[in-house]
Structure 1
């Protein structure tokens, strides 16, 4: 090495990451607020109705069973309810059904993006959120110009088997210093009430979680605590 001058934290100086088969974009997807606040991830319309009525303004419907008989009905009911309540509703994975129902946005993982018709999502006007695991995948996501970039997993999580190690708050802080306000950002993975304040202090725009709410002993009281720390991100516009 010729010198040690600290980390380069300017996005314009970062490598432009290209991977064969991974979509890139010249145009940005429809925007969403930089600060979307608390972002619960749930698996049913019933959970969406319950949490929205408690004050949640950003939420994701994540149903992994593609063969479920009422899959579209769950999506359709959730979309109609969230539109009435002015709530940002993202649908995980099922982007064609999300487009059909007229959702606010969709959320896709890195592997999902290799198979998805991202131009169809863009032309529909839906927002696109993308999951990343580390700096390399974050820079891949940047080339797609999505509506938001999810950064994770921050801590150990039991919600799913992860292919990578936890990023931790230090790395999250570095990524936030690189991305700044270029993209809306979401932190996800193992975030609980006892560690969420350290996550919010990085300046990340939103905090996503599953079991921190769905497995709480007192859901109503727990949601109130989360909203006080993360905020609700304000009302949305579906236009």
Structure 2
């Protein structure tokens, strides 16, 4: 069972700060690193996450995820054009996929994903995207097509949490709402509390 709150970070330093606040599901999204730096950061992050009981999902870098013994991989639609999916599955990696349109969802389902992310629900705050906001109402129709968990992402604030969970999201993924907050630790704790309340 994936955590109900999902945070994207770019280094093990964030995990050291936020796992003690109750974070149990995180994605490591790294850009602009050399191969050795990338492998080192993934390894460090995996070590922190495992020690804290947090599931860590590696974004994009499928070969590095295999090499470091990661358990989870997240891929965008463009990544699917380059991944060796047989190697990923042979390594035992669980797979999460991004979707933004019905066509992308159709494609994602052919990979038998372990979760599907839908976004952006609202205008994205932490990443430039080429898709219009999906809105909360679309979560229900997406969920009806899935046999795996549905992740809501994109421009989501804590104040939206109850409505998004109620609409069918199994988990909510954020970046800016925690990492750009004046007190990330406190904001993370509040998200964990909101996710726990929504579980019942």
TM-score by length of 2: 0.93
Q: CA 1:201/1:233 → structure 2, altered by over 3 Å: closer, same or farther?
A: closer
For the residue of structure 1 that corresponds to 2:113, the secondary structure is coil
Q: Kindly report the root-mean-square deviation, in angstroms, between the aligned alpha carbons of the 2 structures.
A: 1.9
Q: CA deviation at 1:93?
A: 0.7
Larger-Rg structure = 1
1:91 to 58, 61, 64: 58
**Alignment partner of 2:40 out of 64, 70, 73:** 73
Structure 1 residue 231 and structure 2 residue 196: aligned?
Answer: yes
After superposition, give the CA deviation of every residue in 1:48-85 in whole Å (9 maximum; x if it has no partner): 12111111111011011143762211100111222223
Q: Measure, in 1, the Cα distance between the counterparts of 2:76 and 2:120.
A: 13
Match of residue 206 from structure 1: 171
Aligned to 1:13: none
Match of 2:7 among 34, 37, 40: 40
Give 1:107 shift.
0.6
- 1:97-136 mapped onto 2 (5 Å cutoff): 97-136=64-103
Q: Is 1:152–2:119 an aligned residue pair?
A: yes
More helix by share: 2
- Could you say if the C-alpha distance between residues 187 and 176 of structure 1 is closer, same or farther in structure 2, counting changes exceeding 3 Å? same
Structure 1 segments (4+ residues) deviating >4 Å: none
Aligned length: 199
Deviates more, 1:55-64 or 1:198-207: 198-207
Name the CA distance, whole Å, in 2 between partners of 1:178 and 1:91.
Answer: 25
- CA drift at 1:151: 0.9
Quick one: higher RCO (CA 8 Å, sep 6+), 1 or 2? Answer: 1
Residue 162 of structure 2 contacts residue 198 of structure 2 at CA under 8 Å; is this kept in 1? Answer: no
TM-score (norm: length of structure 1): 0.78
